[in-house]
Chains A and B, each alone.
Chain A
Amino acid sequence: DQGNAVHDEL
């Protein structure tokens, strides 16, 4: 589930 995606990459 990509639901509330946290983008931890730059």
Chain B
Amino acid sequence: MNIFRLLGDLAHLASIFILVHKMHTTRSCRGISFKTQALYVLVFLTRYIDLLYTWISLYNFVMKVFFISSSGYILYLMKYRFRPTHDPSLDTFKVEYLVGPCFVLALIFNYRFEVTEILWTFSIYLEAVAIFPQLFMMQRTGEAETITTHYLAALGAYRALYIPNWIYRYFTEGTVDPIAVVAGIVQTGLYLDFFYVYVTKVLQGQKFELPA
């Protein structure tokens, strides 16, 4: 564990708290893509299946259980509690285009051809692109509530912070996880456009609006 990874994990935790807080205070899930949130549940379930047979640390265990349960809770909020505030006509990205190719890629590019290993690899690839429905939705509406942008900034910062973590681990432990690194760089890259608008607009007190 190094500082970059810890900060990354804390940013990930923060993103979830921001999202849940937004939904509770506004009593709404407006502007949030149900599809992206559902993909995160799939990501966590396929990646953390090792909870059943591997013990890494208490930290690792608690975080995994938290990510699985909080992502399930968010789906519950969107599907039941605040269902009327979700507009499926804006959330139209086809998730098949993400899930299918990620699964095929996981079958081809993996460390071992084993069920759990392929599921882990699939989860890494899927996480990298799971934000697409959310970004697509914002592209369609051309705007986002400020609190939603804070959620996205924290979520993007999480994977961005894993990059210095991997560099640090390469020099201190000599370990490289090419699948995680390549997917993590792609994942972070997808946020660059968003980060630019976030820093130049939202952090200056302006509304998040995309050019028409």
User: Interface residues, chain A, CB within 8 Å of chain B?
Assistant: 2-10
Contacts and interface: CB of A to CB of B under 8 A. Distances in A.
B160 to A, nearest CB: 14
B60 A8 contact: yes
B67 to A, nearest CB: 7
Contacts of B177: 2, 5, 7, 9
B172 to A, nearest CB: 14
- Identify the 4 closest CB pairs spanning chains A and B, nearest first: A2-B111, A5-B111, A8-B56, A10-B63
Contacts of B22: none
A2 B175 CA distance: 9
B35 interface: no
Contacts, number: 31
Given A5-B111, A6-B54, A10-B60, 12 more contacts: A2-B177, A3-B112, A5-B112, A5-B177, A7-B47, A7-B50, A7-B120, A9-B5, A9-B162, A9-B177, A10-B9, A10-B12
B13 to A, nearest CB: 10
Given A9-B5, A9-B180, A4 B67 contact: no
B64 interface: yes
5 contacts: A2-B111, A6-B54, A7-B177, A9-B180, A10-B60
B209 interface: no
A2 B176 CA distance: 9
Contact of A10 (B67, B112, B117, B178): B67
A3 to B, nearest CB: 7
